[in-house]
């Protein structure tokens, strides 16, 4: 969930409880989160939406990322695999401004320096992140969760406590369909299955129309059927959004990489000990001896 969304949700919950809207749990950070950021022009004329170069992160001398470089094209779906502790989540922490690297550079498009931005700004300029655990507002309905996400969008902020217009209602309706929750719209989000909560959170991210979506183990804990539907959902986003998907589920990776846009050529990146061990089609990396040794062969 993005910081702005967290704030909007806390505000809405407090309002429902009759508390002042600033009595949130965000530890006095409202002023910073509420700051209006000037629209940033994303420049993708060179074809890259995300460019990481030589990024290193260490925790007490341990290198979680070690000269990591990564280049994601506009509209690309990139799957990232790698054993536990390879640095996949840390990489997402760097992209989203949660962790500052010791060295290296990170650009969104060719002009936006991510290392000079704060977490909430990075969310606002179009990078959406799905954490491993679903984080939805459990007490609110599915519809209300999407409504909040829509209203947390900077472009819709002015209307936070006003009624939705018909265009916004349509957007929520379309999203409910896309995330397979049309018939659950009035259901309390806390009562959804684990997989449905994951879809709802993805829907909430999409309401904010991110250009780049980072998804950390999105199908962990899902049933086979939910996993398959999630693959269909991601494939339908390809092109309009750029996606970076971290997963362990090889069947899921197989579905994402062998279908949809650019099917035969889609790249998979293998991380190991904080750097790129191999990159290529799924077949390429599965046949790579180094990969077999450190990861697939275990």
Ligand X SMILES: Nc1ncnc2c1ncn2[C@@H]1O[C@H](COP(=O)(O)OP(=O)(O)O)[C@@H](O)[C@H]1O
Nearest to ligand X of 125, 127 (CB atom): 127
Measured CA to CA, the distance from residue 50 to residue 108 in angstroms comes to 5
294 part of the interface to ligand X, by CB under 6 A: no
Q: Does 88 bind ligand X (CB under 6 A)?
A: yes
Q: Which two tokens stand for residue 260?
A: 């949809």
From CA 149, how far away is CA 155, in angstroms rounded?
A: 12
What's the closest the beta carbon of residue 21 comes to ligand X, in angstroms?
A: 32
Q: Which stretch binds ligand X (CB under 6 A): 78-86, 169-177, 181-189, 225-233?
A: 78-86
Q: Is 275 in the site for ligand X (CB under 6 A)?
A: no
Interaction between residue 90 and Mg ion (CB under 5 A):
no
Between the alpha carbon of residue 230 and those of residues 160, 214, 217, the distances in Å are 30, 14, 12
- Picked from Mg ion, ligand X, none, the partner binding residue 211 (CB below 5 to 8 A depending on kind) is none
The reply on whether position 96 binds ligand X by CB under 6 A is no
> Does the footprint of ligand X cover residue 56 (CB under 6 A)?
no
Choosing from 2, 89, 275, 288, the residue that interacts with Mg ion (CB under 5 A) is 89
**By CB under 6 A, residue 253 contacts ligand X:** no
Least distance (Å) between residue 63 CB and ligand X = 8
120 binds ligand X (CB under 6 A): no
Verify binding: residue 90, ligand X, rule CB under 6 A: yes
Least Cβ distance, residue 152 to ligand X (angstroms): 27
Q: Does 145 participate in binding Mg ion (rule CB under 5 A)? A: no
Among 23, 46, 59, 251, binds ligand X (CB under 6 A): 59
CA–CA dist 205, 158 (Å, integer): 19
Residue of 3, 24, 75, 87 interacting with ligand X (CB under 6 A) = 87
Q: Which window, 87-95, 120-128, 150-158, 236-244, contacts ligand X (CB under 6 A)? A: 87-95
| Among the residue ranges 61-69, 86-94, 192-200, 276-284, the one whose residues contact Mg ion (CB under 5 A) | 86-94
We find the least distance from the C-beta atom of residue 235 to ligand X, in angstroms, to be: 24
283 alpha-carbon distance from chain centroid? 26
Nearest distance in Å: CB 231, ligand X: 21
Q: Considering the complex, what minimum distance in angstroms separates the CB of residue 59 from ligand X?
A: 3
CA pair distance 44, 48, nearest whole angstrom: 6
Measure Cα distances from 23 to 15, 63, 69, 151 in Å: 10, 39, 42, 19
Which residue, 216 or 226, is less far from Mg ion as judged by CB?
Answer: 216
Which residues contact ligand X (rule: CB under 6 A)?
Answer: 59, 64, 82, 84-90
Which residues contact Mg ion (rule: CB under 5 A)?
Answer: 88-89
């Amino acid at each position: 969930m993005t910081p702005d969304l967290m704030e909007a949700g806390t505000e809405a919950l407090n309002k429902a409880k009759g508390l002042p809207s600033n009595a949130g749990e965000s530890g006095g950070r409202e002023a910073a989160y509420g700051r209006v950021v000037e629209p940033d022009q994303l420049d993708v004329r060179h074809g890259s939406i995300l460019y990481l170069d030589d990024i290193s992160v260490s925790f007490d001398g341990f290198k979680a990322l070690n000269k990591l470089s990564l280049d994601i094209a506009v509209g690309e779906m990139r799957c990232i695999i790698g054993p536990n502790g390879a640095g996949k989540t840390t990489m997402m922490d760097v992209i989203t401004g949660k962790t500052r690297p010791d060295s290296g550079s990170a650009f969104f498009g060719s002009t936006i320096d991510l290392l000079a931005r704060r977490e909430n700004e990075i969310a606002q300029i179009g990078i959406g992140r799905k954490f491993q655990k679903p984080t939805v507002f459990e007490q609110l309905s599915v519809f209300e969760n999407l409504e909040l996400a829509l209203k947390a969008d900077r472009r819709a902020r002015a209307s936070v406590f006003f009624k939705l217009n018909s265009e916004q209602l349509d957007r929520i309706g379309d999203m409910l369909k896309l995330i397979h929750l049309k018939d659950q719209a009035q259901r309390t989000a806390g009562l959804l299955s684990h997989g449905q909560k994951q879809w709802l959170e993805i829907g909430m991210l999409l309401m904010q129309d991110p250009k780049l979506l980072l998804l950390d183990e999105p199908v962990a804990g899902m049933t086979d059927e939910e996993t398959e539907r999630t693959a269909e959902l991601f494939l339908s986003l390809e092109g309009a959004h750029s996606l970076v998907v971290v997963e362990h589920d090889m069947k899921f990776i197989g579905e994402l990489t062998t279908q949809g846009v650019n099917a035969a050529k889609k790249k998979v990146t293998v991380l190991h000990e904080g750097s790129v061990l191999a990159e290529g089609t799924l077949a390429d990396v599965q046949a790579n001896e180094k990969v077999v040794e450190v990861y697939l062969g275990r």
